Amino acid sequence: MKSEKTIAWLLLLVVPLGFEGIWLLQHRIDTQRASISEERDEVLLRSPRLVKAMGLEYAPLLADIYWTRVVQYYGNKHLRGQANLELLWPLLDITTTLDPNLVIAYRFGAMFLSPPAPGGAGRPDLAVQLIQRGIQANPDYWRLYEDLGFVYYFDLKDYQKASAAFLEGSKNPKALVWMKIMAAKVAAEGESFETSMFLWKDIYDSTADPMVKKNALTHMQLLKVKEDCKRLDALADEFEKRFGRRPARISDLAQAGLIRGIPRDPSGYAYVVGKDGKAELNLDSPLLEQQLMQERFRKAMP
């Protein structure tokens, strides 16, 4: 009987202490998890040479881990709509130093670095540096010259360097024949609808990454919108010559016999005439938000 009372008293003392210990442990875990969450975008080791020296023969494995970190970092920022991608370059720098032959890191890393926000970090200069590093380490991989041409063409608008990149890549026996054709076309015409559409379609067809594919598709759709509106504006000029006024709506062009039916954008919404008398996207079109976003960031770029 006495021993039962003793056990009861011990339980009264130990159980509360046990619950308190569990609470303190859980509190410590929650605090550490919050700290990790707040600092998850930090690169603990920023020196590529140091990481490679520490990795020894496991450097390629570490490169795969860091590359996974790159994709997660970019994906999380992209989903949250955050334009600050300042850790993207340090992560890519470490990844490609650990494994100079990890071609995917150069190709997709450049796609993450080069475009302006919200699609990328807005650092085409670093994208060029990354691809050139990749070419030096993998001189026989002609697709890197293609990627270099993309950066010069789309983001830096340097058509001569874009042409030179395509031409240099075309010298590889394994390169597709269009590389040489594109080199001549870009050198002669600079930016054009056909060239831009061809390049974006090649990105769309050659990538398996859903975010990159979606971005390429959006660019192709907006290129089509730009070309459609350009054609409609030319027809509106013809309408004005005939009738002495701008068309108030797209249907006026159809009634005048200048077009058949009402043209629609790639998402299926009819084009409209804006206040300035120019053709533009319908307010209900889902492409309008993408178009305005691109224009906003383009104006913000220095």
Report how far apart, in Å, the C-alpha atoms of 235 and of each of 136, 245, 252 are: 50, 12, 11
Q: Which two tokens stand for residue 277?
A: 């008398």
pLDDT score recorded for residue 254: 93
3-state SS, residue 160: helix
Q: Report the interhelical angle of 48-55 vs 88-98 (nearest 10°).
A: 40
Residue type, 114: S
CB-CB contact of 279 with 232 (8 Å): yes
pLDDT score recorded for residue 189: 80
pLDDT score recorded for residue 293: 75
C-alpha span between 17 and 122 (Å, rounded) = 55
Residue type, 191: E
In this prediction the pTM is: 0.64
pLDDT score recorded for residue 141: 96
Instruction: Output the CA torsion 35→36→39→44 (10° steps).
Output: 130
Per-position pLDDT tens, the chain of length 302: 545 555 444 444 444 444 444 445 445 544 544 443 444 444 545 555 555 555 556 678 888 888 998 888 888 876 676 667 888 999 999 999 989 999 999 999 999 999 887 778 899 999 999 999 999 999 999 999 999 999 999 999 999 999 999 999 999 999 988 898 889 888 888 888 888 888 888 888 887 878 778 888 998 999 899 999 999 999 999 999 999 999 999 999 999 999 999 999 999 999 999 988 999 999 999 999 888 876 765 554 44
Q: What is the per-residue burial (b if ≥16 Cβ within 10 Å, else e) of 27-55?
A: eeeeeeeeeeeeeeeeeeeeebeebbeeb
pLDDT score recorded for residue 15: 43
3-state SS, residue 264: strand
Q: Which residues contact 87 (CB under 8 A, 6 or more apart)?
A: 41, 42, 43, 73
Kindly list the structural domains of the chain, giving each domain's residue range(s) and its CATH number in brackets, ordered by start: 48-213 (1.25.40.10), 225-300 (no CATH)
